[in-house]
Structure 1
Amino acid sequence: MPSASTGASVTTGAAVSAPLAASVPAADSRMAPGGPGYRRMSFALFLAGVATFALLYSTQALLPLLSSDFGVSASEASWTVSAATGGLALFVLPMSALSERFGRRTLMTASLVVAVTVGLLVPFAPSIGALVALRAVQGAALAGLPASATAYLAEEVRPKALITAIGLFVAGNSVGGMSGRVITGWVAQEWGWRVAVGTIGLIAVVCAVAFRLLLPAPRHFTPGSLRPRVLARTVRGHLANPLLCRLYAIGALFMTVFGGVYTVIGYRLGEAPFSLPQGIVGSVFLIYLVGTVSASTAGRLAGRLGRRGSLYLAGATTTAGLLLSLAGSLAMVLLGLVLITAGFFAGHAVASSSVSHTAKEGRAQASALYQSAYYIGSSAGSTLGAVAFHAGGWAGTVAMGLFAVLGVVSITLFGTRAARTAARRVPAPAH
């Protein structure tokens, strides 16, 4: 982690020698809970997370309506989600490079401006092809948010508060994803999907303005280089780090489960034996509030169980939720969704904060690679979940999810064994 800016040096008079003065630790001027600017920063990034996820997944709860309006299948309608997350995955790394040069706050602001502008155009899409294209552009614009936000936090927040700060940003993601789906569900039931996505666009405008007014100016950012060779060298260094690669894979696999489940849950609940109306289906996404809690408490969970222990628990919780969701009872399906959501957000918060903790240089690129893998997982989950649902019903989607969770547990187990092997190789200190 780059060294923080320091305050005035501490002395005890002229008698203090230069070596002694140099050994006195400087005050850490980065933000911490209870300190100046921390609440403004937390709320600003919370709002950025709300806007990002509300826009990114604004069509997910509306897929049955899109299928009906445009006369397309579930897998074709799912591309309105996959295109947005795929655009984000492709552009997050280039956007992170721009943030190294022009600053985190500047890029996050520009990304939100473009994304909300496109969001106001989405309701006027004349065809499913045009809608998918607009969503891809919107996802590419939103790519400037995730990696820049985590890099901003890594630079401006003290290390001990980093997991909590990132957890609050992830909590904003869960609130945005939840509110976007719930609002669109009820609005669409009365006025159609076009008014619904337009409403989300207007909400995102408000969040974007408040974000720019509240976020403190960065104090510890140092502009980097845009030279392709420098960027390529940084990326190669991150990809050569086994721990970072494991974290990237874990993020992608967790999101594959989550994206698949929530892409097709509307189809399942709208069909027999449940046959729920669109507004009620949208309200199911209130379960995202569970993610808000689990993400914001991930720091305390990691403090008790360790990072790998937290990932094991997140995987076990997600697995239990997938199995419960197979029941024919609506109550059991909803309980399953609660556990899936809690496990996913806890695992995501721990994995993403571990990336920022592990990367000592090029944090924006390290975070960008995580976000790229994460949203590739989202795109894959949305598409594969719909295909699996078409082929084998809800059981097919659950089987896909269980396979992905098995990958998470296997990777974490491999990391645990690798850490134990490395610890045994460390020579004992000489006496």
Structure 2
Amino acid sequence: MGAASTVSVTSAASTTDSRMTPGGPGYRRMSLALFLAGVATFALLYSTQALLPLISGDFGVTASAASWTVSAATGALALFVLPMSALSERFGRRTVMTASLGIAVTVGLLVPFAPSVGTLIALRAVQGAALAGLPASATAYLAEEVRPKALITAIGLFVAGNSVGGMSGRVITGWVAQEWGWRVAVGTIGVVAVACAVAFRLLLPAPKHFKAGSLRPRVLARTVRAHLSNPLLRRLYAIGALFMTVFGAVYTVIGYRLTDAPFSLPQGIIGSIFLVYLVGTVSASTAGKLVGRLGRRGSLYLAGGTTTAGLLLSLADSLVLVLLGLVLITAGFFAGHAVASSSVSHTAKEGRAQASALYQSAYYVGSSAGSTLGAVAFHAGGWGGTVALGLLAVVGVVGITVLGSRAARVQARRSLLAAH
């Protein structure tokens, strides 16, 4: 009788959980919709990154000045992601994501007509601010609409969409720019993003578990303070920022390195180099399995070690070794990002949109810092200077993870003593 009751209670509990799960109703539509949103976000956000040498030549500016067409977009995203997450708490995740994509793709169609580098940077800043409504709202939507056991996999698919967007944006712009210039190239990305935005809105299921929150500044400030007072969340925010510092620095400068001797590659080939993003697609989408085998901290150690190996390999003057280095850097970054971002959603029990927004803010601050500092380091010390910056950031990731491991052991001992 007792066993039967237990089975019936368990069955009832499972049937009352209407959140999505792999193979269940709406899961594939949701996964594809957010995958396409990720594609559009990264394609737009980094649409000028592979074109920086051409932009430098067109406007007659240095690499550091041209890098602001990337840094302005990521910096504005970092600045606006928290306010946009608050809007999503009030008006709904799907509404904010749809509006954000709509504004971003509209600006994307205006970018090719920028008459000066200053105007281009300003338009890119507006585009980044608009895109701020996507990352935090998407992870909050998943945390509310997907069952916990499937959350890492679902977020991994969204991150995989980021990698596909970053890759396709750079590959397309590289070849288009080689034939018709950088303006036509970024215009092409704008059209692709429009298609992704329309498909996203048509596919994404209406939320069933969203509960509107408050827009009152005091409530928002209290939620933010609670998240920032959580040591685990602070560590995850720092890890996301440091991983993105490496990634932003490497991919902002790599075009300049490959156009110089001894490689002297044309723009189309340089754009094709970004096909290594496919590695990031795989590593992000398999992050759930990686965590299942190694745990979250073990996965972060592996991601940091992989990134380090890639940075060191990229110092070689062999194109094959440079490409292998980029593969390892990309795999390590996307795996680390997927683990850290999903850990934020798992850790935050309330105010998930704000928790995710703080992570995204730190993440894109890291991107802006990496883009700018990577270019400065390249001017000061060549590719070796950029690699040194990346290695310093990875040391920070490993150090923070070690501190987290020690803190977990101390907490476990305290819990054991309290139990006795």
Q: TM-score range by the shorter chain?
A: over 0.9
The normalised TM-score by structure 2 is: 0.97
**1:222 aligned residue (211, 221, 228):** 211
Q: Which runs of 5+ in 1 are unaligned?
A: 1-11
* 2:68 paired residue among 69, 79, 85: 79
1:25 aligned onto 2:13: yes
Q: How does 1:271-286 map to 2 (within 5 A)?
A: 271-286=260-275
Higher helix residue share: 2
CA offsets 1:370-429 (integer angstroms, 9 cap, x no match): 000000000000000000000000000000000000000000000000100111111368
* Count, aligned residues: 414
- 1:62 & 1:369 partners in 2: Cα distance? 30
Match of 2:105 among 116, 138, 147: 116
CA distance in structure 2 between the aligned counterparts of 1:192 and 1:256, rounded to whole angstroms? 29
Q: Deviations 1:71-115 (Å, cap 9, x if unpaired)?
A: 000000000000000010000000000000000000000000000
- Indicate how the Cα distance of structure 1 residues 219 and 389 shifts in structure 2: closer, same or farther if over 3 A, else same: same
1:184-215, CA deviations, whole angstroms, 9 ceiling, x for partnerless residues?
00000000000000000000000000000000
Counterpart residue identity of residue 378, structure 2:
F
Query: Is residue 390 from structure 1 mapped to residue 375 from structure 2 by the alignment?
Result: no
2:335 aligns to what? Answer: 346
SS in 2 for 1:426: helix
Q: Which residue of 2 aligns with 1:9?
A: none
Pick one of 406, 410, 413 that aligns with 2:395: 406
Deviation of the 1:23 alpha carbon: 11
Q: From the superposition, tell whether residues 414 and 22 of structure 1 become closer, same or farther in structure 2 (CA, over 3 Å).
A: closer
Counterpart residue type for residue 94 of structure 2: R
1:304 aligns with 2:293: yes
Selected match of 2:309 from 302, 308, 320: 320
Q: Show the counterpart of 1:44.
A: 33
Q: How far does residue 28 in structure 1 lie from its aligned partner after superposition?
A: 1.1
Q: Distance in 2 between matches of 1:240 and 1:308?
A: 20
Aligned counterparts, 1:53-202, within 5 A? 53-202=42-191
**Residue among 342, 347, 368 paired with 2:357:** 368
Secondary structure of 1:72's counterpart equals coil
Q: What percentage of aligned pairs have identical amino acids?
A: 86
Q: 1 CA distance for matches of 2:386 and 2:195?
A: 36
For the residue of structure 2 that corresponds to 1:220, the secondary structure is: coil
- How large is the Cα RMSD of the aligned pairs? 1.5
Q: TM-score normalized by structure 1?
A: 0.94
Structure 1 equivalent of residue 405 of structure 2: 416
Change beyond 3 A, Cα 1:376–1:122: same
Deviation at 1:25, TM superposition (A): 3.0
Q: Which amino acid in 1 is paired with 2:326?
A: L
What is the alpha-carbon distance in structure 2 between the residues aligned to residue 142 and residue 427 of structure 1?
46
Partner of 1:241: 230
Residues 386 and 418 of structure 1: is their aligned pair in 2 closer, same or farther, counting only changes over 3 Å? Answer: same
- SS of corresponding position for 2:115: coil
Structure 2's unaligned 5+ residue stretches are none
